[in-house]
Chains A and B, each alone.
Chain A
Amino acid sequence: MAQTPPPASPAPDGAPQGAPPPAVPFERVLTAAMGQPGSHELDHYLRRGGYVGAHKALTSMTPEEVIKVVTDSKLRGRGGAGFPAGIKWSGTRGNPAPRYLVVNADESEPGTYGNRYAMDTDPHMLLEGMIICSFAVGINLAYIYIRGENLHGYETLELAVRQARERGYLGRGLFGTDFNLEIYVHRGAGAYVCGEETALMESLEGKRAQPRTRPPHPFQVGGGLFGRPTVVNNVETLMCVPHIIVRGAEWFAAIGSPNCPGPKVYCVSGNVNRPGIYEAPMGLLLSELIFGDEYAQGVPGGRAVKAVSPGALASPLISGGELEVKLDVDAVRAPPYRTQLGAGGIIVYDDSVCMVELLLRAEQFFAHESCGKCVPCREGTHWMVDVLRRITAGRGREKDLDLLNNVAGNMSGLPFHQRTLCALADFAAGPMMSAIGKFREDFDYHIREQACPQQRQLAHA
């Protein structure tokens, strides 16, 4: 990609603002420092124009102006639900203090790892986003909830927080204003469900990580952390914020899909030649991401793509014939795809993959991770595992497919988490229903022939 200005260190007032609508070449901002040694150090970040956004927001803008810019940028949450960040912030600000910010750095789903690399590379970008968010919402205490297994990430963040505190970017009187902010990094010790925002807050409060009933919602009194109004945002959501402040809402809104704009970190895994992290405009074509030269560069051995999980394991499957989908929150949700982008973990399966086995693996994951609070998810995930295990062991029955489809349907429904407290049940049900809908022949073969269509050895269940 031809790299033209704007300069690497952002100009004070958002230089590209005047740029005409078309063809501003895409510039990586979230992963720009990836691969640069020492990029996690405060000085490195400062050399690249770090904390300019926070300085600008705190010293020259009102909180309302910050929220307006973020709202105008149409930044939508990168954690999965795609909720507009500005609306979340103003909603929280409308409720009485004390309020809290919680950064969701749990990232535990198979196929997602973007947050991890982003935090390793540029922890200060996250802190800067947190400072701006806290200032805008009126928050003086923020938490980063990081997955317990990610010890390296935790240490990186701790170091970053310490450095920021030493330089006065955290603590009392930031940037000479009377704004105070403390950040605590909290290691989870839990499960996948800890990434669900209300379970995460329970865990942060020292309780069992189980989702709470809503309302009250996190932004409301009684619903957030310690019962206070709380903003919960994904790591990547907040990392976008400094750039929006520096370069302006229009710059951000002009990138990629108009309804869901901005840069997006996609992480690609599975049967591709070059798995990895790719920052691209929201709404990149899936086929481009899989086959593009700058991206994953196709499938090994030139095999065909059989299926794709566009939002990691939890998303309904896309078949190999549906690759011309735009990767943004709304486009993947729309028919005929009816799937979800999640946090942008794209898993590619080639034509050697048996969907029955894939689903068994997936459902084992969800059955293991279901917190067990609500009946359909606790019992349904396990029931599906039992049936899938039987099928893969060569003891499938004709009626099993209807049963699986029906059990999954009884766990899920649109919109999400109506039948259950959180979307984990939908995450478990969606892939199941899509697999039976789109790859029925794999299941039929297993049941009819009592053998695997890919000639894999049958499991002994």
Chain B
Amino acid sequence: MAATAPPTTVTLTIDGQEVTVPRGTLVIEAARQIGIEIPVFCYHPKLSLVGACRMCSCEIQMPPPPGQQPRPPGILTACTTQVAPGMVVNTLGPQSTKHREAVIEFLLINHPLDCPVCDAGGECPLQDNSHAWGPKESRFEEHKRLARKGAPLSPLVVLDQERCIVCYRCTRFMAEVPGQAELDFFSRGFSSQLRTIDDQPMKSHFQGNIIDLCPCGALTSETYRFKARPHDLDHADSVCAQCPVGCNMIIDSRSNEVVRVRPRQNEAVNEIWLCDKGRFGQYYFSSKERIAQPHVRQDDQLRPASWSEAIGSAAVALQGVKGRYGGQAIGVIGGRNLTNEDCYALARFASEVLETPNVDHRTGARHTAANPLAEHGLDAFNSPFVDAEGAGAIMLLGTDVYEEMPVFWLRIRKGVKNGAKLIIANPRATEADRVAFHRLRHRPGAELAVLRGLLAALVESPPLEGPAAVEASPPAALEGTQPAQAPPPPTRDLSGLRDALGDASVEGAAEACGVTAETLRAAAATLAGARNPLIYVGARLAIRADAPGLAAALVNLATALGQRRAVSFFPEGANARGAALAGLVPGEGGLPAGEIIAQAAAGKIKALYLVGENVLATHPDAEQARQALANAEVVVVHELFPTETAALGATVVFPATSLGEKDGTLTNAEGRIQTVHYALRTESSARPDWRILSDLSGEMGASLGYAAAVEITRDLLADVPAYAPLADGAIPAEGVIVRQHGGEASDGTGTGGPNASWGAYVPIPEGPALAPPPGQEGLTLVTYGELLGDESTLQDVPEVLEMVPEPYVEVNRQDAARLGLTEGRLVRLRTARGGVERRLRVNGRCPVGVCYTPDNLGRPRVNMILDWAQPFPTVTLEPVREGVAAEALAEAGD
């Protein structure tokens, strides 16, 4: 080993040009930097190196060892060869071009050349490379290989084995990026065949990406197959609004219909990935089921109406309520799926026109602080997504991030691959558990106790002070042979935390949350020993009644770890951050969304203004929501689809335009504001929400006066302090992170909250007891949202609907055995309110005594049997007769 550190850059020559690049750079990337494109098939910068196709081979001459004759250049693959000082690369050398020609010839001899009927035609690297490098004619006169054509790998992805050039991009992606090796090659050599494991359909949420990665037409999309030629498509740059990641995408349309969606590269957000909901779930823009026209209620029936009639009657009705009961008798819910412009218009409408403080975008919220961390001087999300890549430990609390923010999960996985230790606290196992370092399987609703336990464990053995602490301690302890050279760094002073914790002990917390003290201590030690620990908290915890307590405990935890900005809450809804920033949060004395419904049910709120919020399906107590709709004198609804809320309760229904039809901005979970451009013309009479609000406000005598979305963007940026750095209105293509609190730079590189509270620990308010005490009869029900829930946006895409699981309830094997229930049985999930039917899944994901069902799947939704007063109800499961033998039924009954 050389004593001196080797230089960090390398200078080499490529096609006569000198280029200096960092050590370890691949030749192909070095060439790219000076604009030399080397053709590839198997190489992909996001995947591991295989060197399989040999297309990128160049003449590469290594510098001779000192004192030796130079050796002739070799033909080496540029995609696997790292640069070396003095290396000479000839990308167009006669040997390499001849070799490339040979590779193309080899690839084409067994390729079906059915380009005329191939979706990839016109945007196919195999075509392009053949055109650029291939031989003029084929010498192959034998029979071509025959293989499977049009074989489904899942309802979404179709394989044409004959076209496959065996580049391993798809298999590498699945194994490496989401870590779901659902695909591999079977048999070898000439007979190599891509198959799914056990020939089972792929289940991953990330399948669509392999279609993009495939360098030929071997993998195609079931929803796009044979629909269009790429040169016939119109393209619009947009942002996915199906979850708060905010993946950048391109909407390709033809004849004003969405035909496909592709990812748009944004390294800070989605890199080049989309999840399958983002990719296959945007067809609803052009759905035939959309509401085409305003409706008003007459004789308890909704009937079509003109815009002027609908606006007029909504204005009169709202004015009436306002006049009779005052503005605070009106509740406004909506915004989490709207653009910032819609949100801002709605916020202004609520405060200036309706004059109500009861405004919220967080359906089901039980307390007013939209950002529970705000009172501690922090933003709701305090680090850019990319930080997850460099974290030493990542804790996920109360989230199934794979379902909640899928593409962000890929970033977390990257962090884990880079060495982050993943700590998961969840009442049930999630996809992320597969790579978890610690799993804290706590009692439902006991998150606060988990946090107390971690804090108490930190007080017992505080983290070391200073950045060197992390590296310094463990190896010395392991080696054991070397005498400690330097005195150990001091431990962090946690006396303030001890005071804030009161008499909480690890054992006490363990008792309360059901996680062993040992595990709590181990997880705390992992967090304490990690550089850049990060803690992500599920959106559902931010709206829960004990959110202030959770926030205080989390801030204490982050402070104890020396990294206040370590903690972030996920928002619920694609533009929830944007909605909060735009002001769709309870005002002075205002009610949170959940309470708005509760109060409406109780008859205290007299009018509901619901923008894109189907409360009957989303409020965690459907009966209460039904009463609210029944008791409210006026219910105004903006909707894309004829929802049950509109059907049951609306006085006036305004048809709104979808995200695909409007310009505007969205702000994702990390606080990044991004621009969307419309992809489709609106063919019905639907209007953007902001326009409806502007028109309605005019009718009500206090016009917002907006005629175009850009006017609102301008006002929004000028008015909302967080957007102040953008007041000139220019939003760069990759977006900009903005921060409401924490004084962080807009590029997200700031270091932390206001120094005033730095190092200070806050008391942890006691929350209400959420879960029934242990040892109850029956099972405790946990609910959560699944990615492919909310079927209305997916209803036009049968291929995607096939991916949507049949509504199910999941129980532990032991409970199933005790109840005499088996996998696949239809069961009735019952509370005091009644029952819903679900398919039983029996596995080990839920611990004994807990069962889980998604709350955004199935009709009726599970909220049908939920009670606003009991967030974690006790439920029973009973078999449903479904052509099963009577004795099995009787057996299960006792």
Residues of chain A having any CB pair with chain B under 8 Å: 94, 191, 193, 208, 213, 215, 367-376, 378-383, 386-387, 390, 403, 410, 413, 415, 418-421
Question: Which B residues touch A191, using CB under 8 A?
Answer: 188
Show 24 A/B contacts (Cβ-Cβ < 8 Å), sorted by A.
A208-B188, A215-B80, A368-B189, A370-B190, A372-B191, A373-B52, A373-B166, A373-B168, A374-B51, A375-B53, A375-B55, A376-B102, A376-B103, A378-B106, A378-B166, A378-B192, A379-B110, A379-B190, A382-B190, A383-B142, A418-B57, A419-B75, A420-B54, A421-B52
Q: Which residues of B contact A208 (CB under 8 A)?
A: 184-185, 188
For A215, A369, A375, A418, the residue with the greatest tally of chain B CB atoms inside 10 Å of its CB is A375
A374 in contact with B189 given A379-B106, A386-B142, A387-B142 (CB within 8 Å): no
Q: Return A226 CB to nearest CB of chain B, in Å.
A: 15
Residues from chain A with Cβ under 8 Å of B1 in the complex: 94
**In contact, B165 and A373 (Cβ under 8 angstroms):** no
Contact B54 A371 (CB under 8 A): no
Residue B77 is within 8 A (CB to CB) of chain A in the complex? yes
Q: Is B545 an interface residue (CB 8 A)?
A: no
8 A-B pairs with least C-beta separation = A213-B51, A410-B102, A379-B106, A372-B189, A386-B142, A370-B189, A372-B192, A382-B190
Q: What B residues does A378 contact at CB under 8 A? A: 106, 166, 189-190, 192
**Residue contact B52 to A374, C-beta cutoff 8 Å:** yes
In the complex, the chain B residue whose C-beta lies closest to that of A211 is B51
**Is B109 in contact with A383, judged by CB distance below 8 angstroms?**
yes
- Given the known inter-chain contacts A376-B106, A383-B109, please indicate yes or no for A418 contacting B74, CB distance below 8 A: yes
Residue positions of B touching A, CB distance < 8 A: 1, 49-55, 57, 74-77, 80, 82, 99, 102-103, 105-107, 109-110, 139-140, 142-143, 145, 165-166, 168, 184-185, 188-192
Given the known inter-chain contacts A372-B166, A403-B139, A410-B106, please indicate yes or no for A381 contacting B52, CB distance below 8 A: no
> How many Å from the CB of B17 to the closest CB on chain A?
24
Say whether B99 contacts A213, CB under 8 Å: no
* Contact between A419 and B188, CB atoms less than 8 A apart: no
A375 near B110 with CB under 8 A, answer no
A413 to B75, CA, bound (A): 9
Shortest CB distance B82–A (Å):
7
Looking at the assembled complex, report how far the CB atom of A374 sits from the nearest CB atom of chain B, in whole angstroms: 5
| Inter-chain contact B54/A213, CB cutoff 8 Å | no
Measured CA separation A367–B191 after assembly (Å): 10
Residues of chain B lying within 8 A (CB to CB) of residue A421: 51-52
Which A residue sits closest to B168, measured CB to CB? A373
* Complex: chain B residue closest to A207, CB-CB: B184
**Chain A: minimal CB distance from B610 (Å):** 54
| Cβ contact within 8 Å between A381 and B139 | no
A415: nearest chain-B partner, CB-CB: B74
Taking a contact as CB atoms under 8 Å apart, the answer to whether A367 and B75 are in contact is no
Note all chain A residues with C-beta closer than 8 A to B142. Answer: 383, 386-387, 390
User: What CA separation (Å) do A213 and B105 show in the bound complex?
Assistant: 22
A419 touches B189 (CB 8 A): no
Across the interface, name the chain A residue whose C-beta is closest to B49: A213
Taking a contact as CB atoms under 8 Å apart, the answer to whether A419 and B57 are in contact is: yes
Interface pair B190/A381, CB less than 8 Å apart: yes
Q: In the complex the two chains form, is A215's CB within 8 Å of B82's CB? A: yes
* B55 neighbours in A (Cβ, 8 Å): 375
**Which among A215, A371, A376 is the interface contact of B188 at CB below 8 angstroms?**
A371
Given A372-B185, A390-B142, A418-B75, output 8 extra A-B contacts at Cβ < 8 Å: A373-B52, A373-B166, A376-B103, A382-B110, A383-B142, A413-B75, A419-B54, A421-B51
Q: How far apart are A177's CB and chain B's nearest CB, in angstroms? A: 18
The smallest C-beta distance from B373 to any residue of chain A, in angstroms, reads 41
Contacting residues, chain A, for B105 (C-beta < 8 A): 410
Residues of B within 8 A of A375 (CB): 52-55, 103, 106-107, 165-166
Asked whether A379 lies within 8 Å of B107 as measured between CB atoms, the reply is yes
CB of A370 within 8 A of CB of B188, answer yes
Residues of B within 8 A of A413 (CB): 75
Question: Which residues in A have their C-beta under 8 angstroms from that of B192?
Answer: 372, 378
For the complex, what is the distance from the CA of A58 to the CA of B79, rounded to whole Å?
44
CA distance A420 to B168 in the complex (A): 16
CB contacts (< 8 Å) of B80 on chain A: these are 213, 215
Pick from B51, B103, B139, B190: contact of A372, CB under 8 Å: B190
Q: Which of A372, A373, A381, A419 has the most CB of B within 10 A?
A: A373
Q: Considering the complex, give the chain B residue whose CB is closest to the CB of A403.
A: B139
> Contacts A208-B185, A368-B189, A421-B52 given: A380-B106 contact, CB under 8 Å?
yes
Residues of chain A lying within 8 A (CB to CB) of residue B106? 375-376, 378-380, 383, 410
Asked if A367 contacts B99 (CB within 8 A), the reply is no
Query: Complex: how many Å from CA A94 to CA B191?
Result: 41
Q: How far is the CA of A159 from the CA of B564 in the complex (A)?
A: 61
Q: Is the CB of A383 within 8 A of B140?
A: yes
Contact across chains for A381 and B103 when beta carbons are under 8 A apart: no
| A460 to B: closest C-beta gap in Å | 15
Smallest distance from the beta carbon of A222 to chain B beta carbons, Å?
11
Min CB–CB distance A203 → chain B (angstroms) = 12
Counting chain B CB atoms within 10 Å of each CB, the highest count among A369, A383, A386 belongs to A383
A165 to B103, CA, bound (A): 51
With A374-B52, A375-B107 in contact, do A381 and B57 touch (Cβ < 8 Å)? no
- For residue B579, give the distance in angstroms from its CB to the closest CB of chain A: 47
Which A residues lie within 8 Å of B102 (CB)?
376, 410
For the complex formed, measure the closest distance between the CB of A401 and the CB atoms of chain B, giving whole angstroms.
Answer: 13
CA distance A420 to B189 in the complex (A): 13
Most buried by B among A367, A376, A420: A376
Residues of B within 8 A of A381 (CB): 189-190
Contacts of B140 in A (CB 8 A): 383
* A367–B189 touching, CB < 8 Å: yes
Q: Complex: how many Å from CA A44 to CA B166?
A: 52
Residues of B within 8 A of A215 (CB): 80, 82
Q: Which residues of B contact A193 (CB under 8 A)?
A: 188
Residues of B with C-beta under 8 A to A390: 142
Are B53 and A374 interface neighbours, CB within 8 A? yes
Shortest Cβ distance from B108 into A: residue: A379
Residues of chain B lying within 8 A (CB to CB) of residue A213 = 49-51, 77, 80
Complex Cα distance, B166 from A372, in Å, reads 8
> Please, which residue of chain B has its CB at the minimum distance from the CB of A368?
B189
Question: Which B residues touch A373, using CB under 8 A?
Answer: 50, 52, 166, 168
Q: How far is the CB of A432 from chain B (nearest CB, A)?
A: 15
- Cα A378 to Cα B165 with chains together (Å): 10
Do A376 and B51 form a contact, CB below 8 Å, given A370-B190, A418-B75?
no
Cα(A153)–Cα(B139), bound, Å: 46
Flag if A371 contacts B74 (CB, 8 Å): no
* B82 partner residues in chain A, CB cutoff 8 A: 215
* B190/A374 in contact, CB under 8 A: no
Establish whether residues A372 and B110, one from each chain, have CB atoms under 8 Å apart when the complex forms.
Answer: no
B50 touches A410 (CB 8 A): no
Contacts of B190 in A (CB 8 A): 367, 370, 372, 378-379, 381-382
A191 vs B192: C-alpha distance when bound (angstroms) = 14
Q: How far is the CA of A376 from the CA of B77 in the complex (A)?
A: 13
Bound: A166/B54 CA distance, A: 50
Distance from A197 Cβ to chain B, minimum over Cβ atoms (Å): 16
* Separation of A381 and B145 alpha carbons in the complex (Å): 13
Contact of A369 with B54 at beta-carbon distance under 8 Å, contacts A375-B165, A379-B107, A410-B102 already known:
no
Nearest chain A CB to B191 CB, angstrom units:
8
A residues in contact with B109, CB < 8 Å? 379, 383
Which residues of B are found within 8 Å of A368, using beta-carbon distances?
Answer: 189
Q: Which residue of B lies closest to A424 (CB)?
A: B189
A382→B142 CA distance, assembly (Å)? 10
Chain A residues within an 8 Å CB radius of B103: 375-376
CB-CB < 8 A to B107: which residues of A? 375, 379
Q: List the B side residues contacting A403 at CB < 8 Å.
A: 139
By beta carbon, the residue of chain B nearest A383 is: B109
Report the minimum CB–CB distance from B761 to chain A (whole Å).
Answer: 43
**Nearest CB of chain A from residue B72's CB, rounded to whole Å:** 10
* B189→A376 contact, CB < 8 A: no
Asked if residues B53 and A419 are in contact (CB atoms below 8 Å), the reply is: no
Q: Which one of B49, B76, B189 contacts A418 once the chains associate, using CB atoms below 8 Å? A: B76
